[in-house]
Amino acid sequence: MDYHLKTPVPEDEIRKLKMGDLVYVTGTVITARDEAHLKALELHEKGEKLPVDFKDVGVFHCGPIMKKVDGEWTVIAAGPTTSARMEIFQDNFIETFRPALIIGKGGMGDRTSKACQEYGCAYGAFTGGAALLAARGIKKVREVHWLEELGMPECLWVYDVEDFGPMIITIDTHGNNMTQDVKEQVTARMEKIMAEMEG
């Protein structure tokens, strides 16, 4: 199925998504990689207010190339980065900030999958490296935060997006995880190939 979602996305719409569905998003998507996740969680723990609200919007694992043209930030290229690096704190992040979608590449593991199930979040895999396809869906750079401190790839870019996609739902709220499934199949095949290998 194809879905066109609008942020803020209500939780029941996220719960309708199934592994393998194609999704396009219109509304707000915020970039966050390793350091932004860490900083956001740290600030929250200290009880400080974040400059953005991740609730019901898309969190995009992405370190874009941005350029200032006539004093305005514009997106040059903005594809997904490897999400696996965020696995160590994504579950905590989902529980704390309750985003609707995590967008990235390469899929995520069990911890994220459990958090998605529990808190009504889904993971959308954007084609890795397809940075211009992603940029095409970004209509406006609304805000930027932590740029000085974290640098261009790591800071928070708040984008207004329109039909941003297509993303494939690889983690849904029903406990499915496509990347994990493929991984298990690949490991089984590897073991067979290794065992049959000749010198």
Partner 1 sequence: MTEISKIVEDTAVELLRIAVTELPTEYVKVLEEAMEETEGAVGKAQLTNILENVVIARENSKPMCQDTGIVAFMVKLGDGFPLRSEVREILIKATRRATEEVPLRPNAVDMFKGNTRDNVGLNGHVPIIYFDLVEGDDLELIALPKGGGSTNIAAHRMLKPGLGMKGVKQFVIEALSNAGSLGCPPYFVGVGIGGGEDLCMKLAKEALLKPFRVRSEYQKVAAIEAELLEKVNELGIGAMGLGEGPTALDLHVKMAARHPASLPVGVVISCWALRHARAVISSDGEVEIDKSV
79 binds ligand SF4 (CB under 6 A): yes
Q: If residue 171 lies in a helix (H) or strand (E), which one and from where to where?
A: strand 156-171
Pick the catalytic residue from 4, 37, 44, 61: 37
* CB burial readout 107-140, b (16+ within 10 A) else e: bbbeebbebbbebbbbbbbbeeebbebbbebbee
Among 73, 119, 128, 168, binds ligand SF4 (CB under 6 A): 128
Single-letter amino acid, residue 63: G
Single-letter amino acid, residue 143: E
Among 45, 51, 65, 140, binds partner 1 (CB under 8 A): 65
Residue located via tokens 């900030």: 97
CB of 128 to ligand SF4, least distance (A): 4
183 binds partner 1 (CB under 8 A): yes
Residue located via tokens 């993971």: 123
Looking at the Cβ atoms of 22 and 41, the one nearer to partner 1 is: 22
Residue located via tokens 């915020």: 30
153 binds partner 1 (CB under 8 A): yes
CB of 88 to partner 1, least distance (A): 15
CB of 59 to partner 1, least distance (A): 17
CB proximity list for 12: less than 8 A, separation 6 or greater: 120
Q: Is 37 a catalytic residue?
A: yes
Structure tokens at 159: 């984008």
Among 26, 73, 127, 139, binds partner 1 (CB under 8 A): 127
Q: Phi and psi of 143, rounded to 5°?
A: -150, 160
In 3D space, the residue among 69, 78, 57, 59 whose CA is nearest the CA of residue 152 turns out to be 78
Contact partner at residue 138 from partner 1, ligand SF4, none, CB < 5 to 8 Å by partner kind: none
Contact partner at residue 153 from ligand SF4, partner 1, none, CB < 5 to 8 Å by partner kind: partner 1
Q: What is the binding site for ligand SF4 (CB under 6 A)?
A: 79, 128-129
Active site residues: 37
